[in-house]
Structure 1
Amino acid sequence: MDPALHGVFDPGLLWRNALPVFLVFLLIYGLSGRALLTLVLAGALLVLVFDVNAIKELNLNSPILPGDFALWHQVLHNIGFFANYAGQHFFLLLALLALLAFGAVLGVAWRLDRRWWRAHWLIRTAWAVLSLTVIVTLYRGNSVWRDVYADESLPGFQLSDPIASVKQVGVMAELVRMSQEAQTSVPKADQSLISEFAARHSEDMNSRVARQPPTELPDIVMVQSEAFFDPGVMKGVDFSKFVPNFERLAATGIGGSLITPTYGGGTIRTEFETLTGYPMQAFPSILYPYYGLASAWMPSVPRRLEALGYSTTLFHPFRGSFWNRRQVMPQLGFQQSYYLKSFAGVEHAGVYVSDRALFDFVLARLDDAQRGPQYAMVITMENHGPWDADSGMLVNVLDGHPLPSGLSAAGSREMTYYLSHLVNGDQALGDFAKRLLARPRWTMLLFYGDHLPSLPHAFADLGFDDGNQGIKQHTRYMLVSNRPLVQRKLDLSSYELPALLFDTVGLPEDGYLALDSVVRQAWEQGHYQHGADYGQVQFNAAQLEVGCGHKLDAAGRCGESRAQSPNRASSAPVAGE
């Protein structure tokens, strides 16, 4: 079942992958005392792990990881949503039938096992205790286990690239090693690296801290567009062919390619970066930042704007419980949130609320809001995957937009679905921007794609102009305004968008955000040389600020630590789920 173990026989790699499996078998036998039952149950668990891993690799280009187990309740409460990624809509019925059949097999195994020899219960108890102890210490990396699964023993393992690691060292060995790494969620930062950089740029750091905000503060609308990218990076596809409104708007402001920390899904990774400025790459063992990383003390974009007198509102036409947003968003500074229940009766485009209906909803709330400055975070859903379904009536929007040649049947299905929603969303964006920027108030629109869609067949059929795989491609962003804005092209990572926004508006910056802006400016002035060195400054600064739970001072040192603020989730208005 594990491609990494095919071909060359490597005893060391083999037993490191087999050990966790053997321990599970031993634990189940120690608890049940039935050999046949153990083989059936543990074998089924093993097959399930590899099947889930295969589905995740196909759709998200990521193997199963320790952080995935934090989502078990999400899967149970949103089984219909996740079932879409398993292939067919009758997945739930098949799963129920399979569960019933498996229960019958377990019953037969239980009865057959009753007549077989079993070890004494004291011996089995010892086996169960021993196996459980080894499992816990193994996955925690206690004692000798960290050396057993160290880099030297797992050639090819890369903490920053799990998908490459699992192909080199195997699913189980990679899962053990990543579990050990997860025990230290925030790496220790290199204080000297940060302080030296801050000292060389102390004048710029201090000027950003002392900067006074403009007399008139703009309304700021940030749109995180689901799976948005320009297919022009694919062979045989012209740039802006499917997103002419985005291209026209981007030409009036600041825009470029955007490196995001996820592919095919995992939206909250990009979302966390654009709301806090912290790069996910600085926390390699944390897969889902809304579970254990995001916190109320963080100087997020909405919190910083709230301190300047902004009202802060979140618009997301999906369940508030999904991705833990209902709890986390108030902690990050959103005063009001609109979730799925608030969008009852609005237009859908396929399965989800259309971008057009979402934008109309946002405009109505902006027009009815108070006179003070407003910040709106808009998270779209229309073009959410999986992207191999029937596009329905939306296929009509592709009239005049023929599919690229060279697509297989599966690739054509993926591209038809994705491009139908992409074109529909681009038309909605054009209308939204026209009405939004026609408002008399100074208004800024920051629009970006959270990740590329997972179109494995289409990507394999066409390939990309640069010869790289889909995981290496970038999304797009633009920052436009109804006030004069110097147009320029600027390629960024998603964690740099907050600093770009504050710099463009002229808002004060401090802590990590100020340092991030200075790093980006120094990198530009150096003509984008030594990018890896500048990246290390950013990553270490994020680790230091998050590790101490307080904003950095102008010298790049951790300020006085303080206890995290109490959870504000219960007091923040939530308009609907």
Structure 2
Amino acid sequence: MNLSETARQQIREASPLLLLLVGRMTIYLLFETGSSWSGIAVYVRLLFSLLMFYFIACFIHRVAAALSVLLIEMLLIQANHVKVSATGVPIVASDIAGLDRSLSLVSGYVTPGIQITVVALAIIVFLGWRYRRRSWREFFGNLPLGLLLPLLVGMLAFSNGMAAGMVRNGLCRIQICHVAWRPLVNVAMNGLPAQLVMTSEAVAVPERGPHSFYEERRSGLLTANQPDVLLILCESCFTTFDQRFRTPMFQFVDQGFTPFTLLSPVYGGNTAEAEFETLTGLSSAVLPGIEYQNFAERFRSDSETLVKRFADSGYATISLHNYFGGFWSRDRVYPRFGFQESIFLEDMGWESASDHRLPPDKILFDRALDRYENAAADQKMFMYLITMFTHGDYADQGGDHGRGDYLRRMNQSMGELAAFLVQMEGAAQRRKRPLAIVVFGDHKPALSRVLFDVKVFPPALFGASDLQDSSFELDWDPAPEQWKIRSQATAFVRLADPEASQALADRLDDLPMFCLPAELASLTPGNDDAFWEGVNAICHQPKDSLVRYRGDLWQQEFPLEIYAERLF
């Protein structure tokens, strides 16, 4: 081999790496520098791009491997933008792992850019496989570095906590650190491939042990008259009680409901976290990730929850949701949480060729009313409804940033809900049963720009003094007062006694969502009074002290051992 042939060989071997380097830096400069511009950010991104490259190059042509890495990076950036816009939080490994169970909802968020990127990636991978160099020398040349990425993921996802901790500590020593309560900063500093790797850690089930949770206790104040209970989680439903952003939800004030606010653990999405708090009475911030995703098969079959308390008191416990049971693994979680019957969209006989992603809430209400009216006259009922029609995202119409679409859907859904509640109260009277109703939004809608424009969100909530159209991302580490504004979710209650309704609303106003089930638990006798009295004691602390979002702070109130005792 002469010198020119050697040079050409070296160029052929170096060109994929050069393509990867130039392409990755271009992507960073064009699409990511708004979040972080630092040497460490560049270093971490290039490192993980190289790890992906050598892994993929074990199977396809090296040029195709470089192009595939760049397309994967672009795909992740686009998917992350969609999720952050809708929920305020970035993508994590469980989003990828659970994609098969949520594809029907995810399809509604697939932008043309994502579609084009997926098609391009499929073509490049096919051509790279078709024209790969069938050389054992090249395969083994890529293999040592190619194994590093699956080794990292494997040690995080499938090893014990000690091994995963060693990996995390080792990565942090080389400036790749991940802190659970600052997800947007993690992405800004480390990039999305590192974010997926670092969030792939298998979450260990909490272990039982001694704890001091029961030392402080306070009894619930509601009368245990065992009414039928109708608990409605209204997807992204929100209104202000003043004129700033009054939506059709406000009509319940005029219909005899008492308004109040709850502090949601989430904003714009991740409804399962709000559900977890309202069904278990535990903070969703302590256990990492989304509990429904991480522990669906590991929750105890007789988990101690608000639902089980009512079931143990002779109630029929029924959940209804006009969406697919597989989303957020509700079909696996609900039976373990004490629901004797769960009815999902696939059980409602609804079909629509035009808009499969947003089934109207009326089909949910019709099914719930039918189920209630046909219950035995002496059967106590606990019914938990989760609506769907007002789920984001919201179409921008004429530069209104989604406001019109949201209000249109709210108008339809709230009209259907109001009619349903009148019918339910009529049915309760015919059954000669008292009925307790709570309607609450799981979180504010993902309308950050709209909420800023109407002065619900102050500029400080975004951590920036100069807000542009493209920069309405919530501050990852807000001050308590800012977190409170972000978290306030709308709620209404109507009990048989209007004075009891007002007193309950006053007690719960601006408290975390897990305080709601602690109050409702006292509507019926049970065997777990000590737990609910412990939650009530937490909820009677000064309200300002309960404005927290970090798991390490909430763990001071909810030790891991209480999660193990109640759920595992």
Q: TM-score, normalised by structure 2?
A: 0.76
Match of 1:150 in 2: 172
**Pair 1:418-2:406 in alignment:** yes
> What is aligned with 2:101?
74
Aligned to 1:449: 441
Determine the C-alpha separation between the residues in 2 that align with 1:349 and 1:367: 32
Does residue 235 of structure 2 align to residue 226 of structure 1?
Answer: yes
Q: What is the CA–CA distance in structure 2 between the aligned matches of 1:106 and 1:319, rounded to whole Å?
A: 32
C-alpha distance 506-257 of structure 1, shift in aligned 2 (>3 A): farther
Q: 2:560 aligns with which of 525, 532, 544?
A: 544
Deviations 1:511-544 (A, max 9, x none): 54331112213x1xx4655766999786355443
Q: Could you say which residue in structure 2 is the equivalent of 1:427?
A: 415
Matched residue type, 2:81? A
User: Cα distance, 1:420 vs. partner?
Assistant: 1.4
The structure-2 alpha-carbon separation of the partners of 1:541 and 1:385, relative to structure 1 and needing over 3 Å to count, comes to same
Deviation at 1:548, TM superposition (A): 3.2
Q: Give the letter for the 1:50 counterpart.
A: I
CA distance in 1, matches of 2:100, 2:43: 32
Cα distance between partner residues in 1 of 2:79 and 2:118: 16
Contact 1:283 1:543 in 2 (8 A): no
Deviation of 1:445 after TM superposition, in Å, equals: 0.5
Separation in 2, partners of 1:185, 1:409: 48
Match of 1:85 in 2: 109
Output the CA distance in 1 between the equivalents of 2:296 and 2:238: 27
- Taking a change above 3 Å as real, the CA distance of residues 244 and 527 of structure 1, as seen in their structure-2 partners, is closer
Cα distance, 1:260–1:183 mapped onto 2, change above 3 Å: same
Q: Which moved more, 1:128-137 or 1:268-277?
A: 128-137
Matching of residues 226-305 of structure 1 within 5 Å: 226-231=235-240, 237-238=243-244, 240=246, 242-249=248-255, 252-253=257-258, 255-286=259-290, 288-289=292-293, 291=296, 294-305=299-310
C-alpha separation in 1, matches of 2:352 and 2:122:
43
In the TM superposition, 1:99-118 aligns within 5 A as: 102-109=121-128, 114=133
- Cα distance in structure 2, aligned partners of 1:518 and 1:536: 19
Q: 1:244/1:64 Cα in 2 relative to 1: closer, same or farther (>3 Å)?
A: closer
Which of these residues, 83, 98, 108, is aligned with residue 56 of structure 1? 83
**Which residue in the other structure is 1:557 paired with?**
none
Secondary structure at the counterpart of residue 490 of structure 2 = strand
* Conserved 8 A contact 1:264-1:452: yes
Structure 1, residues 372-398: CA drift from partner, whole Å, max 9, x if none? 211001111221222117xxxxxxxxx
Letter in 2 for 1:160: W
Residue 491 (str. 1) matches residue 500 (str. 2)? no
Which range is displaced more, 454-463 or 493-502?
454-463
Distance of 1:433 and 1:362 partners within structure 2: 11
- Pairwise CA distance, 1:123: 3.8
Amino acid across the alignment from 2:56: I
Mapped partners of 2:132, 2:79: distance in 1: 30
Matching residue of 1:555: none
Give the letter for the 1:376 counterpart.
Answer: M
2:375 — aligned with what?
A: 369
Instruction: State which of 136, 140, 151 in structure 2 corresponds to 1:133.
Output: 151
**Preserved contact between residue 445 and residue 479 of structure 1 (Cα < 8 Å):** yes
Q: Cα 1:65–1:111, aligned 2, differ >3 Å: closer, same or farther?
A: closer
Q: What residue is the counterpart of 1:316 in the other structure?
A: 321
Distance change in 2, residues 1:346/1:18 (3 Å):
closer
**For 2:230 and 2:189, how far apart are their aligned partners in 1?**
44
1:515-526 maps to which residues of 2 (within 5 A)? 515-521=534-540, 523=541, 526=542
C-alpha deviation, 1:347, in angstroms: 11
Partner residue, 1:393:
none
The answer (yes or no) to whether the contact 2:283–2:514 under 8 Å persists in 1 is: yes
Q: Deviations over 1:316-347 (max 9, x none)?
A: 12222222222221111111122224433699
- Comparing 414-423 with 1-10, which one deviates more in the overlay? 1-10
Paired residue type of 2:513: S
Q: Which residue number in structure 2 is paired with residue 27 of structure 1?
A: 55
Partner Cα separation in structure 1 for residue 439 and residue 83 of structure 2:
28
Matched, 1:360 2:348: no
User: What is the letter of the counterpart of residue 389 of structure 2?
Assistant: E
Distance in 2 of aligned mates of 1:446 and 1:38: 54
User: 1:147: how far off?
Assistant: 2.6
Q: 1:294 to 1:225 in 2, by over 3 A?
A: farther
Per-residue CA deviation, residues 63-113 of structure 1 (Å, 9 max, x unaligned), is: 11122122121244x2xx32221246xx8xx93x76565544445445665
Match of 1:556 in 2: none
Task: Give the whole-Å Cα distance in 2 for the aligned partners of 1:530 and 1:452.
Answer: 19
Query: For residues 208 and 338 of structure 2, what CA distance do their matches in structure 1 show?
Result: 26
Question: Could you tell me how far apart the structure 1 residues matched to 2:222 and 2:263 are?
Answer: 31
- In structure 1, which of residues 406, 409, 426 is the aligned counterpart of residue 398 of structure 2? 409
1:243 and 1:426 in contact (8 A); partners too: yes
**Can you give the 5+ residue segments of structure 2 that lack an aligned partner in the other structure?**
1-26, 463-472, 475-485
CA offsets 1:196-225 (integer angstroms, 9 cap, x no match): x643x3xx46x67xx9984x4210011011
Report what 2:63 is aligned to: 36
CA distance change for structure 1 residues 481 and 535 in 2, over 3 Å: closer, same or farther? farther
Residue ranges of structure 1 left out of the alignment (5+ in a row): 390-407, 552-563, 565-577
Partner SS, residue 20 of structure 1: helix
Measure the CA separation in 1 of the matches of 2:351 and 2:151: 54
Cα pair 2:238 2:443 within 8 Å, conserved: yes
Name the aligned partner's letter for residue 286 of structure 2.
A
Q: What's 1:501 paired with?
A: 520
1:384 corresponds, among 391, 400, 408, to 391
Residues 1:172 and 1:102: Cα distance change in structure 2 (over 3 Å): closer
Deviation for aligned residue 1:466? 4.4
Measured after TM superposition, the shift of residue 443 of structure 1 is 0.7
Distance 1:172 1:382 in 2: 33
